[in-house]
A = this chain, B = another copy of it.
Amino acid sequence: MKVGDTHYRSIWYDTAKDAVQIIDQRWLPHDFRITALETLDDFATAIRDMWVRGAPLIGATAAYGIAREMRRDRSDAHLQTACDTLNATRPTAINLGWALGRCQTALKDVAEADRAKVALQLAQDICDEDVEMNRQIGLNGLQIIRDIAARKDGAPVNILTHCNAGWIATVDWGTATSPMYHAANANLPIHVWIDETRPRNQGALTAWELGAHGISHAYITDNAGGHLMQHGHVDLVITGTDRTTRAGDVCNKIGTYLKALAAHDNNVPFYVALPSPTIDWTVSDGLADIPIEARPASEVTHIQGTARNGQISEVRVTPEGTRGENPAFDVTPARLITGLVTERGITSATPEGLTALFPDLSQNGAL
């Protein structure tokens, strides 16, 4: 999508510079910086410390990491090492393992001399496919917005979203935001309630994205959404997901479950937008079987922002020495989800629904 007048992806291979470039999300929304990733350690650090984040984007980043490593050492042993290193960076999103598995499968029968070239092409393909899947998700989700708009007599459709499942969490378009961008392109009036999404305040990334595209929005605390739903100010919730079970449970940014409960209690439709690589066909019970990342407590006790002097600064909000705990994701049971918006269409959050939409993929993890 556009930043100013320039179209960007969140990650790309710059042919002229012969370098993998990322929008460095450590500094957003306060500063727009581009960083080149070169070594395996660069790629691992970028994923682990969230210079890039979002399930689809960390998959794409891992694929580029393998492509770069195959220039340095094309051996089977190093392929394994590189995959293991990258796979260990973050545990929850399935896209990381999916992209790395795809790299290993694609490269194992390729002659070493060709591996760098094939791996780079694969990373590009993964990116292009992500963009196209997200575009399709947007078109499918647009229909939900259209249907609600038809009942609202010109008033904006109020959409609540949690975290940033935006274009910078993917390669482009985003998952949860793609229907919003398509609605804006179609001149459908929408207003987006953006959950702050503590810790790390990733709602500010969504505010940055939507602001750049002129989409009406308001930033609210994670506490506010239930109240807004009770009073009829939310027509629809759309979130992303980091891992979806074959039964339709959704593991997404911590706090998603609370919004799903509130939506359920107030008869507000709750949709989750996902490209199919986010489905873990080997897992049925999300609560029991998806590993939940525990991130540093400092993300809870300290907050980054722009100080009065314009500097990007960090403040401690707790008393000195307060212990924090920071589970980064939670699982929303399928029973609370109105539907899953995928690149192939919208389906119920059920094993039957997902299998019917993806008969080819669902055999991967047949239990």
Contact = CB atoms under 8 A, between A and B. Distances in A.
A226 B307 contact: no
Given A261-B262, A261-B265, A303-B303, A222 B255 contact: yes
A204 B317 contact: yes
Nearest to A204: B318
Nearest to A254: B223
A278 B292 CA distance: 40
Interface stretch (A71-79, A268-276, A325-333, A353-361): A325-333
A315 B310 CA distance: 9
Interface residues on A, range: 35 or more
A53 B193 CA distance: 28
A85 interface: no
Interface stretch (A17-25, A182-190, A195-203): A195-203
A99 interface: no
A262 B258 contact: yes
A15 B231 CA distance: 48
Contacts of A144: none
Interface stretch (A108-116, A213-221, A237-245): A213-221
Contacts of A199: 221
B315 A254 contact: no
A88 interface: no
Contacts of A345: none
A327 B197 CA distance: 16
A291 interface: no
Contacts of A224: 254-255, 325-327, 330
A306 interface: yes
Interface in A1-37: 29-30
B211 A319 contact: yes
A304 interface: yes
A261 B226 contact: yes
Closest 5 CB pairs of A and B: A223-B255, A305-B315, A227-B330, A261-B261, A198-B221
